[in-house]
Structure 1
């Protein structure tokens, strides 16, 4: 009687198959890379590699000191950018989802309509921001209000296109047997939409938000470059670079990175909580 000899898996193979170790690697390895880059930056090894100086690329300690000395001013600009990003993200995502719902209810022209909306995603933000600034000049006599509306519109358009594409997939790519079961129970379009299509689209909504959240921050920053009212992290980056205040510009760049990271982390936490309940 022939018996197969089971070979013991190597330690490396067992480590690669261990989920806890894989999860730890996904956190520890990027953290170690960040620490290495930080050390090379602070010790000016990075400056030697990039052939630059501490004036153009300030040391992290110098950037931290500037952020600590200008907390109030930086936070004022951070809240202005966060406000634009959040309002534009919410308005764009809601409008994109409504477009996707209408397209799913009327499938004959729905896919074509979503394709047209998706074309907005191809418009460069650098081109869109100055156009919106000019279009909104008649909105108000207050420069702050005009600038705010223009920036929100830029973010809204960017987020709308992304949400409509993903939400339309979630609303239409349902399990065939589920739709057939609803039809066999003589369910109307409204019941199919509320009880089948919308629940099915929830994971797709978060897929869209994972892309839309960083895009909302980037589009808010870029739109601030062209805004009339001088406020916001993006505008401060531009102004300080023009004035050759690179250390201060880098302080605002770090603030912009933190905005994106925090907003993305909140999105991931919300996804984990809501999708567990959804499942």
Structure 2
């Protein structure tokens, strides 16, 4: 029985070259398996880039050929074609540039201030979860306040300068950051918390090393939303009491019936929002390369 046991349990030694060959073979198989996946990811990234560009180019061609005019029975004074808008931008480049900087200052300043206040509110609410959720809900109610009703009040409080428009954008963006950041700070898996407690980590250490880092994707999402929508608050605020900015110029030129310049303001405002959106996205890629949304791109 002893001899049989020895023969059955004894394993032949495996030499290191065999292990290396097996590892190489496995790695070769994994490379062969992953190679088509990488190619498909590149194709997906190219399609996500070229499809919107192609659609946008087709949209401009149809617009230039007056396709929308025929479809919706519009006249050129109601909807200028892209070439007329481009000529208006070229002819009024200095004025549009100065007004764009003015509106951009209101937008960026309001977004940063509102996002900072919303983040502070979310951090404070995360340390007192019993009452913090209710406070965040009340703060989110600010989104229900119409901008048309908010703009005259802010103009009355802060005057007709930059401060009133910054205040409007701040109120618009505050709730988005507060809700998103609070959700990120509180959505930590229990296993992570148990691990931090096992290392005897304190409340503030857990916040800095765990909660805050896991909430960064939510914060950047809120920033991108704020940058894309903050331009609305700045322009609407300029509709009421202002002597500069894209909103003032848009309202003034619509009253005068100068639609190419009015549409130039709309195009520039849209481009400004898109550029700031992608700036935040670029910062996000640098700040949180470990996020799953970034890893899928590699």
Give the alignment's TM-score, normalised by structure 1: 0.87
SS, match of residue 161 in structure 2? helix
Give the Å deviation of 1:45. Answer: 2.0
Shift of 1:277: 5.7
Are residue 121 (structure 1) and residue 143 (structure 2) matched? yes
**Other-structure match for 2:128:** 106
1:276 paired residue number: 289
1:49: Cα distance to partner? 0.9
Aligned counterpart, 2:271: 258
Aligned to 2:236: 222
Aligned counterparts, 1:66-105, within 5 A: 66-105=88-127
> Runs of 4 or more off by more than 6 Å in structure 1?
none
SS at match of 2:77: coil
Q: Give the aligned partner of residue 205 of structure 2.
A: 191
Among candidates 164, 169, 173, match of residue 178 of structure 2: 164
Q: 1:155 is matched with which residue?
A: 169
Deviation at 1:19, TM superposition (A): 2.4
Aligned-partner Cα distance in 1 for 2:112–2:265: 24
Partner Cα distance (1:230, 1:164) in 2: 32
For the pair 1:19 / 2:58, whether they are aligned, the reply is no
Residue 48 of structure 1 is matched in structure 2 by 70
Gaps of 5+ in 2: 1-35, 293-298
Q: CA deviation at 1:56?
A: 1.3
The corresponding residue for 1:132 is: 154
Residue 261 of structure 2: which of 240, 245, 248 is its match? Answer: 248
1:3 alignment partner in structure 2: none
Q: 1:57 aligns with which of 79, 82, 86?
A: 79
* Aligned residue in 2 for 1:5: none
Alpha carbon RMSD of aligned pairs, Å?
1.8
How far has the Cα of 1:197 moved from its partner? 1.1
| CA shift digits 1:91-114 (9 cap, x unpaired) | 011110000000001111010110
Match of 2:15 in 1: none
1-side partners of 2:186 and 2:217: how far apart?
13
SS in 2 for 1:276: coil
Correspondence for 1:205 among 213, 219, 225: 219
| Deviations 1:103-133, CA, capped at 9 Å, x for gaps | 0011110101100101111112122111111
TM normalised by structure 2 equals 0.82
Residue 53 (structure 1) shift: 1.2
Q: CA deviation at 1:194?
A: 1.2
SS in 2 for 1:18: helix
Q: Count residues with an aligned counterpart.
A: 256
Q: Distance between the aligned counterparts of 1:136 and 1:86, measured in 2?
A: 18
CA distance in 1, matches of 2:269, 2:227: 13
